[in-house]
Amino acid sequence: MNALIYIIIFIMGSFFGSFLTLATYRIPLHKDIIYKQSFCTKCNHKLSFVDLIPILSYIFLGGKCRYCKSKISFRYPLIEILTGLSFIILALGLGININTILTFKGIELLLGILFIVFLFLIAGIDIEHNEIHKGVLIYGIVISLLNIIYQYFITKNFNINRIVIYFVVIAILTILSTFRLKKKAKDDYEISVIILCIIINFFCLEIATILTIIYTLLIIAIKTLINKFINKGKKYNKKLPIAAYLCISNAIVWISIFLSQIGG
């Protein structure tokens, strides 16, 4: 029975992954992500249900669009697989089974899933467009509030002073961000990165957040060295997707924590 639960969790994760590939494409373009039917980005033909089955559709179609035969990027099934696996690791780390799925552990699983979705959206949009979408940040703040409510009323693991300080910082940064955009018409990417770090901290202990930042700095250092080597000393002007690196680093930290719990 537990194996069936984890199969369902993986399938659910793969469907979330399919949705995330759609969302990361449409959100920066301000297109509807709920009601508008999926379509091929090459020929614009609307896709049927059999074209949208996570992982399996890619395999059965040979990695090509059914209608125009254009090649489909492997990143689509890859993201579906990764989200499915991340959901399973989360569930294993929380100790989800037939006896706990309908308890408070189920709520923790749901909050974890919402956070995973947040990380994937931030990372995907940043990698594709070098931006942190404000709507996704707001979504992150909302799920942070939900997590705080859960911590306060259920687990009692709640420090009101810590939370107030963080939200005051977010409010100040949001005001600065708005002022900067209106008055100076400059990119507020750096401010959004700080807000992202605070949102991550709402779901992590401070030590996990610090590790996330350290891993991010290591990724940036390695990426910079690689760019210098590839470009042979020439100036590299492309902006690094720091937000994406933060999300990837945080995922590494969470996976390490959950795997250690599973192993223990």
Identity of the residue numbered 202: F
Burial (Cβ within 10 Å: 0-12, 13-18, ≥19) of residue 242:
buried
All structural domains of the chain with their residue ranges: 1-100, 103-264
Question: Region 224-252: what's the mean pLDDT?
Answer: 80
Question: Region 144-166: what's the mean pLDDT?
Answer: 76
- Nearest by Cα to 258 from 55, 103, 115: 115
Q: Can you list the pairs that 112-117 forms with residues at least 24 positions away whose Cβ atoms lie under 8 Å?
A: 113/13, 113/16, 113/87, 114/143, 114/146, 115/143, 115/147, 115/203, 116/16, 116/83, 116/86, 116/87, 116/90, 116/251, 117/16, 117/20
- Summarize pLDDT for 37-52 with one digit per residue, the tens: 888 777 887 888 888 8
Q: Is the pLDDT of residue 139 over 90?
A: yes
Q: Is the pLDDT of residue 114 over 60?
A: yes
**Global pTM value:** 0.87
H helix and E strand count, the chain: 9, 0
Confirm if 27 and 133 have CB atoms less than 8 A apart.
Answer: yes
The whole-angstrom distance between residue 7's C-alpha and the CA centroid of its chain comes to 21
DSSP state of 42: T
Angstrom distance (rounded) from CA 250 to CA 252: 5
Confidence band (pLDDT; 50, 70, 90) for 25? confident
3-state secondary structure 58-78: HHHCCCECCCCCCECCCHHHH
- Summarize pLDDT for 49-107 with one digit per residue, the tens: 888 889 988 888 888 888 888 888 888 899 999 999 999 999 988 889 888 888 888 99
Q: Is the pLDDT of residue 182 over 60?
A: no
Angstrom distance (rounded) from CA 222 to CA 219: 5
Phi, psi of 86 (to 5 degrees): -65, -35
